[in-house]
Amino acid sequence: LTFAEYENGRRAIHGPEVQITTAGYADWIAGAAGHGLTPDCQPEVIDGRLYYATSGSRAPSRIHWIHTDGSTDAQGVAGRELGWPPHLFPRLAATPDGKSLLLAGFGGDRGRDSIGHFVARVALAGEGKPEVFLGDGKPGSADGKFNGANGLDCDAQGHIYVTDYYNSRLQVFAADGKFLRSLSVDRPYLVRVHRKSGAVYVFHHRREQGQTLACMSKYASWEQTSPEFRVNDLQATAAA
């Protein structure tokens, strides 16, 4: 991979099979060998590496990485096969110890309506396959079960946040996977947590006067039951 500078101070990654290479395009860019690169991906940075996953739409889903200084290595470019079902909306988050990745957004081969019902965990060291960490893959509404687990993040204290779209809630877990609580949020699909303040930003859909609105609601922390504010007509595929 190389950098091409389109204008002073603005660069884009180039290389074989790069999907997006224009500096002005707003979607996240990926550049690595493989198929099924998707801009609808939430990457994660751990120890100077930016990890991301391919969709598995044309070949088995893989985890790749590039270094945050723009450099690459052969292993990161080649990627590591997950060996799991399609992963069309990859969501990645680091475990508190930085030794594993949490993965959500599996499925999706029939659109967002077919998102999987679990969160997986895979160790970064070695070549081990992912294992189910939260949920059991079957839809359900009990605490710790999911009906569309398509958004994921962790905070600085190790709490794990998972959007549960068709149950209209955000579930919060301890680092060991113990269920802590859920927040009622109408059809959430993306969550991001501020590492310093602990503020929780949830992107979701809600119905108002017969219309479906895309919204973003901010909670001061996971312990709050009501949002501080909400912004309508705001939709995202990924956020940082």
**Which CB contacts under 8 angstroms, 24+ apart, belong to 112-116?**
112/148, 112/150, 112/165, 112/189, 115/89, 115/148, 115/149, 115/150, 115/165, 116/85, 116/149
Round to whole Å and give the CA distance between 73 and 183: 41
Residues 102 and 81 sit within 8 Å (Cβ to Cβ): no
User: What are phi and psi for residue 129, nearest 5 degrees?
Assistant: -85, 160
Query: Following CA atoms 231, 134, 130, 49 in sequence, which dihedral angle do they give, to the nearest 10 degrees?
Result: 40
Q: What is the pTM of this model?
A: 0.81
What pLDDT is recorded for position 190? 93
pLDDT confidence of residue 88? 79
Residues 6+ apart with CB under 8 A from 141: 147, 167
| pLDDT at residue number 34 | 44
Find, among 181, 223, 195, the residue nearest to 94 by Cα. Answer: 195
- Grouping H, G, I as helix, E, B as strand and the rest as coil, residue 132 is strand
Cα–Cα dist 48/66, whole Å? 9
The predicted structure's pLDDT at residue 18: 40
Q: Please, which residues have CB within 8 angstroms of residue 115's CB and are 6 or more apart in sequence?
A: 89, 105, 106, 107, 108, 148, 149, 150, 165
Location of structure tokens 């017969």: 210
- Mind listing the pLDDT tens digit of every residue in the chain (240 residues)? 444 444 555 554 444 444 433 333 333 344 444 456 666 788 999 999 999 988 877 777 889 999 998 888 888 888 888 877 677 788 999 998 899 999 998 876 555 555 789 999 999 988 888 899 999 888 999 999 999 998 999 999 999 999 999 999 999 999 999 999 999 999 999 999 998 999 999 999 988 778 888 999 999 999 998 999 888 887 776 676
Alpha helices in 160-219 (DSSP H): none
Q: Which two tokens stand for residue 208?
A: 């108002």
Q: What is the pLDDT of residue 23?
A: 36
The reported pLDDT for the residue numbered 46 is: 93
The terminus-to-terminus CA distance of the chain in angstroms comes to 24
Nearest-angstrom CA–CA distance, 239 and 220: 18
In this predicted structure, what is the pLDDT of residue 74? 87
Q: Looking at residue 108, what is its pLDDT?
A: 60
